[in-house]
Amino acid sequence: MVAALELYLDVDTTRRVRTLWRALDDEGIPSLGSLHQKHRPHVSLAAAHRIDPHAVASALDGFPVGRGLTLEFDFVGQFVGRVLWLGVTVTEELLAHHRAVHERLTAGGVEIWDHYRPGRWVPHCTISLRVPNPVMAPAVRRCLEYLPIRATVVGAALADHSQDISHNL
């Protein structure tokens, strides 16, 4: 189980990422879109096995999480475990926003995984959680065909798909 504080992207970016997910699925590469049909394209600011949505809402009350941020997806990356993603170019504005969110979460007693903390976080939009090794190179090439993407953050929510939680912020 994973709960995440997700930033949601504008309509055009969402469409482009979903199109990429479908293209990979059509090539036999499992995408996040086909995992369980609940995901929407996003960038996670924080994640943990479980996060109380009410604690997050309280900690972030009055703070415009992600609103108005512009994100530029300019590269493709891979995490250990065959996770493929579109990388967000880091800006001072994005890092400052991420830090402000985490300061509020910490003050509110919300525990998150260390690799999502300021100084360790890699901003990204997950494309697949399990790309088979023999098709990683073709999957990366397919992702590169969709870049660059300039996106606007239009919303945020605490999502835990295994428990059917989507708490808008």
Can you give the pLDDT at residue 21? 96
Can you give the pLDDT at residue 34? 85
Task: Give me the residue spans of the domains in the chain.
Answer: 3-168
Can you give the pLDDT at residue 155? 95
pLDDT mean values, one per 10 residues, the chain (169 residues)? 91 97 95 82 96 94 94 96 96 97 97 96 96 95 98 95 84
Cβ contact 119:111 at 8 Å: no
Closest C-alpha to 142, from 49, 1, 12, 22: 22
Q: What is the CATH number of domain 3-168?
A: 3.90.1140.10
Can you give the pLDDT at residue 116? 97
Buried b (16+ CB within 10 A) or exposed e, 103-125: ebbeeeebebeeebeeeebebbb
Can you give the pLDDT at residue 148? 98
